[in-house]
């Protein structure tokens, strides 16, 4: 992923173009065409990353949710459950599996609206569950559990008990929700100074589930040190 200037971004009703990469609805699938180069710390050589990812929703949810009273930040879980097909040419990788598709949009930077948040999503025998909680920039807190039926329609449900998780290697505090008040970190995929994404084993609404969980610390993100470090991990194209 490369940070790019506004002139490198365009969109219409079905397509989003970001530099040489683009995201486009084709029939019942979202097709992501990737034309990028990776970034390895302290290594100036950037390998090509090229291929396609197809996201095929099992159902679409039309409703979005405001995360703050002024509606500066909107979250939309478009496909609580989906199938994905990955076909990369460089590196040569192909696989398929289950997935999820959401997006956030807003009228101010995330670091202005939030201090921290914790999010998790689990596929259930029927539908999916998303738990979302955190602390806003003004110090107020929010927490909700949303259960999506097989038809993708959301229904706010009782919030399961809080379950603390071990901090990430970078010291990011992690938290989730589980019926037994306990969850196990099976593996951590992303561990950065301000963000961690992990796979959990827990229990929700009577079912043993595998969850994808993320914790974000926007105070860390906004710190001068992290802002200085970011271009070393994410290339930044100025023009």
pLDDT reported for residue 34: 96
pLDDT reported for residue 1: 73
Strands, DSSP E only, in 29-183?
A: 29-37, 48-57, 65-66, 73-90, 93-106, 114-123, 128-136, 141-148, 154-157, 162-165, 174-177
pLDDT reported for residue 123: 94
pLDDT reported for residue 3: 85
Helix/strand number for the chain, H first, E second: 3, 17
pLDDT reported for residue 47: 85
What string of pLDDT tens digits covers the 239 residues of the chain? 788 888 999 999 889 999 999 999 999 999 999 999 887 655 567 788 999 999 999 999 999 999 999 999 999 999 999 999 999 999 999 999 999 999 999 999 999 999 999 999 999 999 999 999 999 999 999 999 999 999 999 999 999 999 989 999 999 999 999 998 889 999 999 999 999 999 999 999 999 999 999 999 999 999 999 999 887 777 777 76
Torsion of CA 108, 113, 114, 120, to 10 degrees: -70
Distances (CA, A) of 211 to 84, 117, 123: 17, 16, 7
pLDDT reported for residue 100: 93
Q: How far is Cα 82 from Cα 93, in angstroms, rounded to an integer?
A: 20
Q: What's the DSSP call for residue 179? A: T
pLDDT reported for residue 234: 78
Cα 107 versus chain centre, distance = 19
pLDDT reported for residue 43: 59
pLDDT reported for residue 154: 95
Hey, how many other C-beta atoms are within 10 angstroms of the C-beta on 143?
12
């Amino acid at each position: 992923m490369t940070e790019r200037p506004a002139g490198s971004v365009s969109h219409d009703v079905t397509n989003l173009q970001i530099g040489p990469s683009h995201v486009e609805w084709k029939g019942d699938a979202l097709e992501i065409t990737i034309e990028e180069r990776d970034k390895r710390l302290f290594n100036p050589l950037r390998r090509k990353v090229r291929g396609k990812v197809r996201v095929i929703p099992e159902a679409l949810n039309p409703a979005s949710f405001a995360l703050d009273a002024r509606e500066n930040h909107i979250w939309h879980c478009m496909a609580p459950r989906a199938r994905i097909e990955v076909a990369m040419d460089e590196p040569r990788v192909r696989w398929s599996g289950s997935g999820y598709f959401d997006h956030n949009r807003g009228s101010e930077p995330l670091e202005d609206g939030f201090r921290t948040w914790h999010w998790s999503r689990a596929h259930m025998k029927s539908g999916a569950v998303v738990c979302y909680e955190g602390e806003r920039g003004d110090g107020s807190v929010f927490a909700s559990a949303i259960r999506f039926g097989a038809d993708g329609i959301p229904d706010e449900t009782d919030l399961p008990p809080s379950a603390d998780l071990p901090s990430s290697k970078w010291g990011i505090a992690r938290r989730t929700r589980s019926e037994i008040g306990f969850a196990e970190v099976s593996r951590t995929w992303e561990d950065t100074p301000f963000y961690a994404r992990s796979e959990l084993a827990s229990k929700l609404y009577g079912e043993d589930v595998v969850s994808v969980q993320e914790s974000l610390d926007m105070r860390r993100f906004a710190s001068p040190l992290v802002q200085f470090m970011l271009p070393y991990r994410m290339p930044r194209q100025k023009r």
